[in-house]
Amino acid sequence: MARITGRTVLIVGASSGIGAEVARQLAGGGNRFVITARRAAELAAVAAEIRAAGSVCLDLPADALDPTAAAGVVAAAVTEYGSVDIALLNAGQGPDMSMDRVGVADVSRIMALNYDVAVNYLVPLIAQLRGQAGGGLIAHTNSLAGLMGVPRQGPYSAAKAAVRTLLDTARVELAPHGVRFTSIHPGFVATERVGGDGLPKPFQISQERAARHVVRALEREPAQACFPRPAAALVRTLRALPAPVSDAVLRRLAAGL
């Protein structure tokens, strides 16, 4: 049972995968939910599960690429429940994309799908949380790929790294106002969307296990949460190694060993 109780939780990207599973694991315990994503039917199905577990839930279909829509979701959450205690910015996607085959537009699209979707919520959430009693937590589902340039995921790695940097700055600036920030860095997770995308996935974990790690991060609020342990250790080691050595290891990993 999660220790998060009696809180208003906003999850952006809750219609499937990790975000939907985090909502399920936090449901009950007096928590109130606002969940959003683009696919209305999938979102409504997750909302029904949350309500069946005893929580109130507002499901608001919206595209996080639209800053006005994102601000509207935050405003609707505040109108309904009075505050947002925990926001999990979870929208994103990282398709197989090698730098020798991409166009400029592909890179820009991946940047928008992973960076803009976070920024469009980050700005209105900071404005809301810094003004409410007790502040609040803004967490972002990043990736271990946001800690280093991963082959076949370059634009995704770059976009996630950009969000991490932004959150690092915001954590320092907003601490006096009680607004806390957590970057969550999963390794490979077996969600429906990434199944069959052809990428090798060392140390892949289940969606349920990944969500448990996310819930723990929301409870403990570290600056950075990296999992699973073997994949996080591999990334730490690769970052410490001289570039020719880490490059050779990454090349072999990308080729499926």
Ligand X SMILES: NC(=O)c1ccc[n+]([C@@H]2O[C@H](COP(=O)([O-])OP(=O)(O)OC[C@H]3O[C@@H](n4cnc5c(N)ncnc54)[C@H](OP(=O)(O)O)[C@@H]3O)[C@@H](O)[C@H]2O)c1
**How many Å apart are CA 57 and CA 78, to the nearest integer?**
13
What letter would DSSP give residue 153?
B
Give least dist CB 106 to ligand X, A: 16
Our CB check for ligand X shows the closer of 155 and 186 to be: 186
The sign of the torsion formed by the CA atoms of 181, 209, 6, 118 equals positive
Choosing from 186, 218, 225, 232, the residue that interacts with ligand X (CB under 6 A) is 186
Select from 167, 139, 178, 163 the least CA-distant residue to 22. Answer: 139
Q: How far is the CB of 19 from ligand X (least distance, A)?
A: 5
Please identify, using beta-carbon distances, which residue of 9 and 135 lies nearer to ligand X: 9
Q: Report the candidate in 69, 105, 70 with the shortest Cα–Cα distance to residue 89.
A: 70
Residues 29-48 that bind ligand X (CB under 6 A): 37-39, 42
Q: Is the dihedral of CA 105, 43, 85, 185 positive or negative?
A: negative
Q: Rule CB under 6 A: choose which of 64, 71, 87, 232 binds ligand X.
A: 64
Per-residue x/- mask for ligand X, residues 85 to 124, rule CB under 6 A? -----xxxxx----------------------x-------
Told to check if 141 binds ligand X by CB under 6 A, we report: yes
Cα–Cα distance, 27 to 131 (Å, whole number): 26
Residues at the contact surface with ligand X, assessed by CB under 6 A: 13-19, 37-39, 42, 63-65, 90-94, 117, 141, 143, 186, 188-189, 191, 193-194
